[in-house]
Structures are given as C-alpha cells and as structure tokens.
Chain A
Amino acid sequence: MSIILQTNNLAKTYNPGTPAQVEALKPTTLGIRQGLFTAIIGRSGSGKSTLLHLLGALDRPSAGTIILGSQDVFSLNDRDLAIVRRQKVGFVFQAYNLLLEYTARENILLPLNLDGRDAPKDRFDQIIDLLGIRDRLDHYPNQLSGGEQQRVAIARALVTAPDILLADEPTGNLDSKTGDQVMRLLRDSAKALNQTLIIVTHDPGITAMADVLITLDSGNVVSIKDRTA
C-alpha cells in the first residue's frame, strides 16, 4: 500500500528561544499508509496532538516537511495550503468545534460549501445514516448531546471525502459505550469510504482496532507497530 503522508524530520518547538521553550515534537520521520487506521498513543504531553495538527497542516512545523501525495505541504503558501487542507484533510476535534449558529446539517455541509462544492446527495445520506443523525439534522449544536455533536463533527469531517481523516481524542468526552460506538463508526466509515484514518487516543479499545500504532514519548516516536504486516 502506498504512503499517503510522509514526514521528514518533522519537529515542533513551542516558544523557541524563551525560558518557556518546549520541544513538543522532536525530528520525526514516518510514513502513513493510505487506507489504514493509524492510532497515535502516548502519555499526556508527549506530543500527540502536536503531531496530529502538523499532519493536518493546521499548524506549521519548526523544522522538517510533510509530503502529502507528492506535494510538499509547507512549501505552499497560506492560500494553497488552506485549499489542500479543505480538499484533502478532514479533522475531528476533541471539543467538536461546531459553529453554534448553524444547524447540524449546515455544520456538516460547511466545508463543502466553503469550497464551493455541493454535497453528493448519496454520500451525504450515506454518512448521516451511518452516523445515525438524520433526525437531528435541523438541530442546533446546543440542542444536541455531546455524542451527537461529536457525530456531527465526524460527519463534517467525512463529508468532503477527504483522503485523510484526523481525529484528536474524538471520544474523550463520551461515555465508553458511546465512545466505542463513535469510534467504530469512524473506523467503519473510513473503511467504507477508503479513507486514511489517524486518531490520537488513550482508549485501549481503540488502540486495539488500529492497523498501525504509533507511540510517542516526550516528542519522540518510540515505536511504530504495523499490524497489517
């Protein structure tokens, strides 16, 4: 299987040159294979979120590059980077990050609309059915439960059919049963849509489902376990 995302000496240092300097991610070189479910684990503060944000091009690295497909992502200008992001990457945040003044449906369609695209009807239906939020589509975020909000956030990430789906502790705020459900959904839908899924998690259940397991410690990748091999 081909590598969709390749990092080369990717590193992130916060507040460089100040007493508050943190080397959140030490130079890291790794490849994420397409279509697989990759889980990133590690202790709190080990740099998981930092890595994930960089992989999603939500943040700029201090050093190193990311090749997405064949493109050096960070050599792009802001605008092109934004376009790459909206076309290739879907992101599910730990805190859902829905826009409060939009209904679930609008939130889901937002990335597409912002890209000037229409949602393919069947795909949209497929996603919301998969996530079971059809009867919640006209609700506003504050009328939804946490799990429902998370599912809307996942739908929003899936709807653009991104090549890569990134999720940062998507179930952190959910009870374990719901978390499990959501996780499964995420995995299943990714599989169904042939998307590459990268998830940061503490949940051993999720870890068990992953194809590839990347472990971080103090900003270093300490192990990469490939279960497909």
Chain B
Amino acid sequence: MTEITHRTASGVKFYQVGSLAVGNRLLPREQRAAQADPQRANTMISGHRACQGCGEVLGARYVLDAAMRATEGKLVVVNATGCLEVVSTPFPESAWRVPWLHSLFGNAPAVASGVAAALKAQGHEEIRVLGQAGDGGTVDIGMGVLSGMCERNDDVLFVCYDNEAYMNTGVQRSGATPAAARTATTPVAPGHPGNRFGQGKDVPAIAMAHRIPYVATASVADLRDLEAKVERAMQFTGARYLHVLVPCPLGWAAPSSQTIRLARLATQCGLFPLFEAEHGELVSVTPIRQQVPVDEYLRAQGRFAHLFADQAAGGRPDLVARIQAEADRNIRVYGLGGQP
C-alpha cells in the first residue's frame, strides 16, 4: 500500500511537504483514489448533520466508497449507534446510498455477523458485509461481540472510527480516550489532570491476537492509504478489522480546520502508529517521515490545554514526558523510525 501511495507506475517518488498526497492525474487510472472517480459510489451523500471538520464522516465516506469499488457495489453496511448513525439518518432522511442497517450501540459486529451468515445461507457470498462503529461501540460496549466475530472468523470487515471518546452523548471518556485528555467525565480539577494514565486498550492488537486474516490502522491524514487498506481488506474472506483515527473538532476542542493536521501529527509523533497485519503478524508499517514531539500534537488541542496552562508553574511537563514515552515506545515497538 505504501507503494501505491508514494510511487507512480514509473517508480518516481513524489513528496509534498506535510502530506503524502500525490496528484491523481500522475497515476494510472486504476491506482487513482476512489474519491477521484467521478463515477464513485458516493455512498454517504451530503446533507447529513455532522459538524464541520468531522473526521469520522470523512473517514466513513472514504472507507465506504473504497469498499463499494472493491466489491463492485455488492456491499451491506451495519452501523452502531453513535455520531455516524445519528448525523446520517434523521428519519425520514438518509445519507446512505448502500443497504444500511442500524440496530444498537453495542451489537454492530454481531449484527454484521448475522447478515454475513444469512448471505452465506442464501448462497450470496459475493455480497460483502462491513460493520462500523465509533470507539465506544467498538472497544467498550461492542468488545465482546467483536471478539466473537473475530474468533469465528465471520466474513465481515469491521471498521472502528476512533475519535477517542463518546462524542454523540457529549464527549465522555471511552476505553480509547488517551491519558490526560479532558472529557465530560474526566474533568480537569486540582490533582486530576484529565483522563487517568492506564495501560490503554489496544484493540488492533487484540484483533491481531485472534489471528484474523487482516488488521490495519489508518488515519484521515492519509486518505489514499486508508482507501488502499480497505481495498486490501476486501481481498480477504473472514474477519477483518480496520481502526481509523478520526479527529473530532468538538471533542478534541480544536478548530474544524485542524482535523487533517491533527490526524497527521498523531502519527508523526508516534502516538498512532500506522500498520498492517495478516493472520496475526505485522506485515507493514508506515514509517514516520518527520518526527514531531508529542508536545506539538497535544498543544494544538483544547482537551490537553491543562498540560500547558499555568505557565508560571510550568504546566505539567512530567505528564507530557509520560505521553512522549508512550510515543517513543510505539516508535520502538513498531519500528517507525526509518525513512520511507
């Protein structure tokens, strides 16, 4: 997938500062982005109610159009409760141009398994199933059924749009909320600098532990890479898991204009590694091109403002250092340090 992103068929490398985007016109047609195709499925159409700069909706649009291209339109989508569902289907309107089912907050992986089972029973295995949820619907309340889906190797691509909190209900902490982040349920108070430092819940690693055919992480900062991973995922049958980092301007307390930049900083500082794994083994990582300190990523978001406030007292460099240590660990463990 890095191939597709960085090179043309002629093998020439293209770089743009701060971005890995390559002009589509320089690529052969079949390598161009799904979004570049005027005939693309346009699976999630405009008119939905997402906030300006919503990373989740951007991610979903790219994921689904790529999945539609990969399956030649033979796709069924199951959606958990959460922002993506609420903004897209206020009755009687719908932003979806794909068979789409919303059941509950915590059961999207199981519902998707049910759709896949039905299609199998009907002999329609050419129709593929994609389940999608926010981080809450995936790493917390949907964890049991997601694990079941993976363990049975049901033919579902499950996509988690991780904006690192329960956004739909007003930015409460989830199991994917990073340490020190301020949320509505981890408010900043004396002696309480936002979310607690824990061991984290690494769901891509948990998915890998099920040895399912394909696991990948992606981000809305590199949309071509995201598309490529969806396309790759669709080449496998069985359970597949894609974890996409999708900044939320509201929850992260950052301007709408900063969504892509924040997503990029998250990977460039090492906090959100981009990788692919097949059958439980890492097969590729996206190296960091220009490493930045976590400081730069954290400072750009209001949810971490308390780490830098009260300059007289020096803010909380100790906590920033702990977060930097987490990033350094990722860089070490995933080998993100090399040049591309």
- Tell whether A pairs with B: no
Question: B interface vs A, CB < 8 Å?
Answer: none
Interface residues of A (CB under 8 A from B): none
